[in-house]
Structure 1
Amino acid sequence: MLLKKRSNFGERHGVSYLNGEVKFQGVSLNVYSYLIDGVLIDTGSRSLHKYFESFIDEADFDQVMLTHFHEDHTGCAAYIEKTKKLPIYLNEKTIEYCTQRADYPLYRQLFWGRRKPFHAKSMPETFTSRSATWDVIDTPGHAHDHKAFLNRDTGQLFTGDLLVSERTKVILAEESIPTIIHSLERVLTYDFEDVFCSHKGFVEDGRLALERKLANLLSVQLNVLALQNVGDSAEVIRNKLFPQKYPITKFSGGEWDSIHIVTSIMKE
């Protein structure tokens, strides 16, 4: 199989980053790792280890903060545990899972590689870096252990996979739109300026982007519930609200699909 891989390194507003990308059969996926004030936020994927490990080798940091357990964010955590022997922090809900052999579908292994087991410490509610204090914000929905990190001193917010796209079209089967709505509402109560997304990178007017995503999801929720109230099935609602088909749906065997947006709302 022909996978195309590349990366780019940069710096924005005092935050260094590495962005790695994998392309296969018209599907392109990317992920960021960020470095600021001695903190490494997420570690990239195992499939892109030659890029992320080089970034890690050259980086000066004291601790690792993981937004959530997904393999594109934790893929090089084992490498850090082996070579740096620095504390790695993760939501306690998934610490045990990450000590075990990774178990996820083959297409995700193709894109992101096979995450090696690693050991993490329980994520605190706040933490300090070399010159700042940080808030750790519960933001579940995309993943049940998802966290966002806010540097109180700089007003920089690292949102993991909370934003990604302002207009959500497909989600993972285990995601919950109502829970994501609550997470967006929660994070918007904080005072922040810069937004760094794990897939979009630095987001211009980040607060507005998060507000637009929230407004869009609230609108989708209202539309789904209205159609449910007149007796439409989840499949009919999906076809009305999300008629376009996306390559990732077929490629993932339906793990990524618009239908999950609808069913997560109908379940609430």
Structure 2
Amino acid sequence: MIQVYEKKGVTCVKMDIVLGGKKVNTVYTLLVDGMLIDTGPKRMETELISFYDNHSFDFVILTHSHEDHTGTAPWIQENRKVPIYIHPKGIEICAQAYPYPKYRQLTWGKREGFKALPLGDTIQSRNQEWKVIYTPGHADDHISLFNEETGTLFSGDLFVARKTKVIMNSESIPVIMDSIRTLLSYDFESMFCCHAGYVENGKKMLKQKLDYLENLCGEVKNLHKEGLSIEEIKNKLFPKKYGIISVSEREWDSLYVVSSILTD
């Protein structure tokens, strides 16, 4: 359920989330130069405490406030007494106890509230300076981290997979695309994603995702010009009924991919 390995000077903590004997997701916590990036879900707290007890870090950076990234932050705050940073838009969310729907509480666990501090434009780890890049779309408080010296990028949840089939009702495909374009303006190769882990040829893969989304936008807009409704476009482009749609009571749906493109 937890695997720890090193890649390009980064300690990667891979966590497979298993429910009813079936793997439903994978999420990562990452450690580099005394900087812990994201804290995994509450559900994995016991396993992560073992990791924390055997590794040193000076502070925590949260790429965004979603519970699969902030779940053990309260434990860290209580037991490690290190500062925890997030984009200012995420501070109020972090202060709340499990501010998310029941199905997500069951999947990731119930994260208690904690006090996060606001991130600035840069953050200094033990030996390196990191640029904090605001990259909304997946979440309004989402950031990425870039080290110009090493060419290392931590992309949070901006990549996840090359092709996007379903999103949350709070997400925006056009905003995600703008954030990807922002990251592609930087000179990086090594990319670490909080769900895909280390992504080889990261810049190439992120560009492929942008190309896919640009083509998708064109398809959606052309079908809309032909008179198809949002629901009809969804059924044509995304005929598969993903399980997360019913489990989440449609907080996740392919429909939002289409509607966010058409409301841009």
Q: What is the TM-score when the length of structure 1 is the normalising length?
A: 0.96
- Determine the C-alpha separation between the residues in 2 that align with 1:216 and 1:90: 30
Q: 1:226 aligns with which of 222, 225, 250?
A: 222
- Determine the C-alpha separation between the residues in 1 that align with 2:205 and 2:79: 37
Instruction: Give the 3-state SS of the residue equivalent to 1:209 in structure 2.
Output: helix
Deviation of the 1:23 alpha carbon: 2.2
Deviation of the 1:238 alpha carbon: 0.2
**CA RMSD, 1 decimal:** 1.1
- Determine the C-alpha separation between the residues in 1 that align with 2:23 and 2:33: 34
Q: Deviations over 1:65-118 (max 9, x none)?
A: 000000000001111110111111001112022112222111111110011111
Q: Which residue of 2 aligns with 1:176?
A: 172
Corresponding position: 1:235 with 2:196? no
Corresponding position: 1:32 with 2:51? no
> Aligned AA for 2:159?
L
- Determine the C-alpha separation between the residues in 1 that align with 2:253 and 2:23: 14
Q: Which residue of 2 aligns with 1:204?
A: 200
Name structure 2 gaps, 5 residues minimum: none
- Determine the C-alpha separation between the residues in 1 that align with 2:203 and 2:236: 30
Question: Quick check: 1:27–1:247 contact (8 Å CA) kept in 2?
Answer: no
Q: What is the TM-score when the length of structure 2 is the normalising length?
A: 0.97
Q: Which residue of 1 aligns with 2:121?
A: 125
Question: Quick check: 1:176–1:265 contact (8 Å CA) kept in 2?
Answer: yes
Q: 1:9 aligns with which of 4, 7, 24?
A: 4
- Determine the C-alpha separation between the residues in 2 that align with 1:131 and 1:104: 37
Q: 1:20 aligns with which of 15, 19, 26?
A: 15
Between the two proteins, the alignment pairs up a number of residues equal to: 263
Instruction: Give the 3-state SS of the residue equivalent to 1:22 in structure 2.
Output: strand
Deviation of the 1:27 alpha carbon: 5.6
Question: Quick check: 1:225–1:266 contact (8 Å CA) kept in 2?
Answer: yes
Instruction: Give the 3-state SS of the residue equivalent to 1:10 in structure 2.
Output: strand
**Percent identity between the aligned chains?**
46
Name structure 1 gaps, 5 residues minimum: 1-5
Q: Which residue of 2 aligns with 1:216?
A: 212
Give 1:74-113 correspondences, 5 Å limit: 74-113=70-109
Q: Which runs of 4+ in 1 moved over 2 A?
A: 23-27
